Structure 1
Amino acid sequence: MKKTNGTNAQQNGAKHTSLLKSGILLSVMTFASRIMGLIREMTKAAFLGTSAYADAFGIAFMIPNLFRRLFAENSISVAFIPTFRGYLEDCTDGESRKKTQEFVSATLTLVSFLTACVTVLGIIAAPLIVPLFYSGSTDSAILAETAFLTRIMFPYLFVISAAAFFQGILNGCNIFAPSGFTPVLFNGIVVLITYILTPQLPNPENLPQEALAARAMSFGVLTGGCFQALFQWPFVKKTGWKTTLTGLRKAFTNPGTKKVVALIVPTIIGMAAYQLNDLVSTALAGKVGTGTVSSLQYSLRLQELILGIFAVSIGTVILPDLSGLAKKQQWEEFNRMLLQAINIIALITIPVTFYSLVCGKDIISLVYKTKNFTGQSVLMTLEVFRFHIIGLFFIAVNRIISPAFYAQGNTKLPTLAGIICFTVNIALVLILAFPLKGAGIAFSLTAASLVNTVFLFIFMNKMHGMQAATIAKKMIIFIIRMICFSVIAACPVYFVRPYILRAFSGFSNRLIVYGIPVLITALIFAITGIVLLVLFKDETAYSITRKIKNRRQNKQN
């Protein structure tokens, strides 16, 4: 008996180590993906700036991407993987393996058929869809070019759905690295093809260079999607599961696909609210002025970089621990861990917010400013970025609090909070978009994210063991503390920044003109902040330091 327990402990330990390694590898891939996504936006800025063609590309890419997020990703993560895992657990003999293979083939057939139908309809209806995103006075040439770009990129929906299906098989088999790498591959291909293809495209219509670059990027998106699917296919083949098609009748009547569809339908309602929000925001952005769509996208890419590095990683890491504590009903430790995660997010995002408010123009200029991304483009993006960045903490903390609900098996309350958030966002966008343009749309997202946070705390009171009032009180005290520290740290940066910029303004390379000032001001801000944390003996900072020291000692041992 002892031997068996020892064997089980070893197996559990090996499994935990394997999952930990997979989690770390996936975090590294996520970070690389965010960096490459930023480089893709930098490429877009260099070739398109905030021109009408930048907006055209943004709208054209958003339309198939909307269906991808709504159906492909949602179907795989929420419905296919859990169902596939169920089949794998029952896969003990030849007959059960045959049923699993039939389910895999039926799902691939269903995904391929439905996405092919949507793709064909999207290509046909593109000229009718595109005007919904523009005002009545928009140049007909821009409308036609946006429809053309939409038609180029709509097949991306078909290939990326196949890629998502392959990811589902791999993740179901606990293989994460290939799927984690594909976004890096996609962004790299888009960048590469944009640079190679833009000067090579024929131009009988004498289109401006921005139009050719938008077309090149569109071909890059489609090619990148194809490579995302092709790259994963050999790894899927190694698992032993065949990627074959079956008849449509078998696909629609397979018990597994019926279960997948039953799981998808409820979640699509929640996802549709989110996608409707994105759709309405983009549509209004396209109507309020040239460059608004692209400036919003440039700003969001900077924000997503920070969120991807910290919030998503912390949320992913704490979910298994919270689930374990909830199962054991160790509520004191559960609440302590949740509060600590929230405080870590505040420790990161609040100082980043204040630094970005002071040096946002320098950051945007460093990342994006080129011949096509002019000073006017910088100011347009900065106006949006300031309103986006003040919502950084709320967006990040929502991704930390939601796993606390999931840990207890409750997905309804965070979904309800999300729907309320999206409703508020749409209402504010409709009110503020025309008078404030991009800034109004950005502010709407920030305000809605705050509302989401408030409702998550309200809903905490309905959960067993969660001390909403205590967590909220301690969180607010810590936030005020971080705001005070950040204001103090921002003061020397605010006064020194003009002199540093002037010292490097004579150089022609933007990495020197803006990069060195950003580096110096960031160091001043960070050193001031660290000194304040040490002087006031901040417990969260000390906790992080202790964990880093313990990990180093464990590695040495």
Structure 2
Amino acid sequence: MLKKILNFQTRTVNKAVLFVSIATFLGYGLAVLRDNLLANFLNNSQADVYWAAFRIPDFVYGLLITGGVVAAFLPVFSHSFQNSQASARRLFNNVFTVFGLSLVILSVLLAIGAPLIVKVIAPGFSLPQKTQTVALVRIMFFSPIALGISAIFSSVLQYFNFFVAFSLAPLFYNLGIIIGLLFFFPKIGLLGLAWGVVLGAGLHLLIQVPPLLKMGFSPRLLIDFRSSELRKIFKLMTPRVFGSAAYQLNLVILTAIASTLAVGSIKIFNLSNNLYGVPASLIGVPFAAVIFPILSRYAAAGNKDKFFSAISPVLRKVVLFGAPVSCLMFILRAQIVRILYGTQLASSGYFGWRETRLTAAALGIFSLSIFAACLIPLLARAFYALHDTKTPVKIAVWSVILNLFLAWLLVELLRSHQAIANFLSFAFKLKGIDNLSILALPIALSFSTIVQFFWLSYSLQRKINVSYKSLFNRSFVAKILLACLIMSVGAYIFLRIGAAFLIINTVLGIFLQAFLTALFSAAVYLATCWLIGVKEPIFLIKELLIFLKKKLYGKL
């Protein structure tokens, strides 16, 4: 049964997006459970150590794989497979071997240099914290090796529309971390949590092996630096690696800044940032993952008309979902944080009222740029499909520079100008909390994300020679903004009404308040879209109903 599920092959974009979104949603359900346990099992000092240690191997994975191979491999593989299946298999084995060995060598070298790296990434840590961080980093360096190989497998599965195993992999990754937290951590402390990360990475890899073998891609050791296709991947990934390095360094420097603030600041930043990433992962990433191989095929064939016809409606769908989620997450920020992190599943309960309020405020600030975060993966993949990695990299680098400058500036302003702190305290109901410097990080990150989105949109418009109106359809965007405004007003009023009739000092009361407000808001949004002539929601609902009907009768 499990093998049949993993080997399921989708045939349409919307169906593939549905599978990816459902699996991603389930994965984030486990991620929420993971973060709740982390927030409540670990005290502020332990949590800061874990998140700082996690950042270093994640940097390696993001630099070489997410930032390099994933962006460059699929377009080249797509072109190779169209010419010869044997050539595509040889390319796969070559990439598997070369980049797998590169990850092993780099991980070993960085594990040896971990003490120096920790001094840079966490300058505000005490000596015991730094010692613990080094120990965790050395264990966690097994994870980028497994995740890197897994990412190469994922690219092949995406090309053949095997999205189920690819989508379930993050779910098993989070499951491994939870196992480490529940079973290893009580016995050997933070080291057990680090081994849980390694277990999760191993499961992430293994879940993708069955469908890969079904397609006839059994990994073989092969090193051929003379391969023109491998050289092309290196050429395509080089600028992207610089862009990814900028992004990863961005997170490293933000972590370093947070380590100099109040104890628990790294914890607050990461928990709110994880929630911020959920909409992009549920909306932007599935569409980007599914449309990428299609765009790569059209780009390889030199068909810009079909390329535009494929990406334009997908952009509108992302706006359709991303914009209201951005608004609703801002309105429900306190309820979301109280339900997901304030509910003490652990007996210790280290996530208190101060952490709840600051995390909710950070999430509220992050939510202002959710629409942009949802669209950036799709816009970036469009450039990658066109074999242009330089443009999104250049934009990403400048966005990171802007973010880091703003983060440094805002931290200093919040420390020296009480008026700014008072404004944030009033806007996000933080009266009684003295140190608000951590909020500088989400403000800077949100602003730079919005700038990055507009810059990417403008550049893609020029790249494929279509008007901005054709790419995003200003009339459509204006209607969506109107629907979001009406929905937001209705949501705020409904939220106040719920507070009057529900007991909101209990988990059930808070959940009902948030759930009913979200349902009401969705109804208002869909009704408004229908009234002002936005037809996409109706078409999507009809397609979903048809899909479910076929599934019910076993005719898929």
User: By the TM > 0.5 criterion, same fold?
Assistant: yes
The equivalent of 1:376 in structure 2 is: 354
Cα distance in 2 for partners of 1:372, 1:427 equals: 32
The equivalent of 1:279 in structure 2 is: 252
Task: Report % sequence identity.
Answer: 21
Residue of structure 2 aligned with 1:390, choices 368, 374, 377: 368
SS at match of 1:183: helix
The equivalent of 2:199 in structure 1 is: 223
Q: How far has the Cα of 1:253 moved from its partner?
A: 4.8
Q: Kindly tell me the number of residue pairs found equivalent between the two proteins.
A: 512
Residue of structure 2 aligned with 1:134, choices 104, 109, 122: 122
**TM-score, normalisation: structure 2:** 0.80
The equivalent of 1:456 in structure 2 is: 456
- What amino acid does structure 2 have at the position aligned with 1:394? A
Query: CA 1:463–1:74 in structure 2 vs 1: closer, same or farther (change >3 Å)?
Result: closer
Residue of structure 1 aligned with 2:237, choices 261, 264, 279: 264
Cα distance in 2 for partners of 1:424, 1:239 equals: 44
The equivalent of 1:12 in structure 2 is: none
Q: Is the 8 Å Cα contact of residues 407 and 444 (structure 2) preserved in structure 1?
A: yes
Q: How far has the Cα of 1:278 moved from its partner?
A: 1.9
What per-residue deviation string (whole Å, max 9, x for no partner) do you get for residues 488-513 of structure 1? 21341353243245x253x5xx3x14
Matches within 5 A, 1:53-452: 53-91=46-84, 97=86, 103-136=91-124, 138-171=125-158, 175-201=162-188, 212=189, 214-245=190-221, 250-253=223-226, 256-316=229-289, 320=294, 334=308, 338=312, 344-369=317-342, 370=344, 371-402=349-380, 411-434=389-412, 435=414, 437-452=437-452
- What amino acid does structure 2 have at the position aligned with 1:451? V
Query: CA 1:444–1:242 in structure 2 vs 1: closer, same or farther (change >3 Å)?
Result: same
Query: CA 1:500–1:422 in structure 2 vs 1: closer, same or farther (change >3 Å)?
Result: farther
Cα distance in 1 for partners of 2:296, 2:94 equals: 36
The equivalent of 1:40 in structure 2 is: 34
Q: Is the 8 Å Cα contact of residues 190 and 221 (structure 1) preserved in structure 2?
A: yes
Q: Is the 8 Å Cα contact of residues 60 and 150 (structure 1) preserved in structure 2?
A: yes
The equivalent of 2:478 in structure 1 is: 477
Cα distance in 1 for partners of 2:92, 2:330 equals: 50
Cα distance in 2 for partners of 1:327, 1:255 equals: 20
Query: CA 1:60–1:530 in structure 2 vs 1: closer, same or farther (change >3 Å)?
Result: same
Q: Is the 8 Å Cα contact of residues 185 and 228 (structure 1) preserved in structure 2?
A: yes
SS at match of 2:260: helix
Q: How far has the Cα of 1:428 moved from its partner?
A: 0.9
Q: Is the 8 Å Cα contact of residues 10 and 162 (structure 2) preserved in structure 1?
A: no
Q: Is the 8 Å Cα contact of residues 499 and 513 (structure 2) preserved in structure 1?
A: no
Query: CA 1:433–1:552 in structure 2 vs 1: closer, same or farther (change >3 Å)?
Result: same
Residue of structure 2 aligned with 1:516, choices 494, 512, 518: 512
Deviates more, 1:166-175 or 1:377-386: 166-175
SS at match of 1:37: helix
What per-residue deviation string (whole Å, max 9, x for no partner) do you get for residues 71-112 of structure 1? 1234432344444455544547xxxx4x76665554443223
Q: CA RMSD in A?
A: 3.6
Query: CA 1:399–1:515 in structure 2 vs 1: closer, same or farther (change >3 Å)?
Result: same
Query: CA 1:478–1:400 in structure 2 vs 1: closer, same or farther (change >3 Å)?
Result: farther
SS at match of 2:186: coil
The equivalent of 1:543 in structure 2 is: 536
The equivalent of 1:11 in structure 2 is: none
Q: How far has the Cα of 1:378 moved from its partner?
A: 0.5
Query: CA 1:504–1:102 in structure 2 vs 1: closer, same or farther (change >3 Å)?
Result: closer
SS at match of 2:187: coil
Unaligned runs of 5+ in 2: 1-8, 415-435
- What amino acid does structure 1 have at the position aligned with 2:180? I
- What amino acid does structure 2 have at the position aligned with 1:130? V
Q: How far has the Cα of 1:160 moved from its partner?
A: 2.2
What per-residue deviation string (whole Å, max 9, x for no partner) do you get for residues 183-227 of structure 1? 1111112112311222233xxxxxxxxxx2x33221100111122
Cα distance in 2 for partners of 1:154, 1:380 equals: 31
SS at match of 2:208: helix
SS at match of 1:17: coil
Cα distance in 1 for partners of 2:391, 2:362 equals: 31
- What amino acid does structure 2 have at the position aligned with 1:396? C
Q: How far has the Cα of 1:523 moved from its partner?
A: 3.6
Cα distance in 1 for partners of 2:282, 2:229 equals: 36
Query: CA 1:364–1:114 in structure 2 vs 1: closer, same or farther (change >3 Å)?
Result: same
Unaligned runs of 5+ in 1: 1-14, 202-211
Q: Is the 8 Å Cα contact of residues 70 and 275 (structure 1) preserved in structure 2?
A: yes
Which of structures 1 and 2 has the bigger CA Rg? 1
- What amino acid does structure 2 have at the position aligned with 1:126? A
Q: How far has the Cα of 1:67 moved from its partner?
A: 0.7
